[in-house]
Amino acid sequence: MAKVVFTANIQRHVLCPVTEARGQTVREVLESIFAENFQARSYVLDDQSALRKHMTIFVDGRMIRDRVRLGDAVSETSTIYVLQALSGG
């Protein structure tokens, strides 16, 4: 199962512990987690279920490219980081 690590800054709003979840894409993995932790969903995804504008996700050290469908591939041994994006100068 993929390992998912959420930014420490989200923890003051909603508890998101390090979690392992199944899925072949980022979408499948995250939806698996949000099915158990529904409150966390809106902190990461926007009204259209896309990744929030100022959030970013890394899979095994690479930033995902599909921010709308979250279709980037995930393996059984992947580590996923859900973080705030660095915006501005």
Site residues (CB under 8 A) for another protein?
9-10, 13-14, 38-39, 41-44, 46-50, 52-55, 84-85
CB of 45 to another protein, least distance (A): 9
CB of 41 to another protein, least distance (A): 6
Total Cβ atoms within 10 A of residue 29: 25
Q: Are strands 2-6 and 62-63 parallel, antiparallel or unpaired?
A: unpaired
At 51, phi and psi to the nearest 5? Answer: -65, 135
For another protein, the closer CB: 1 or 10: 10
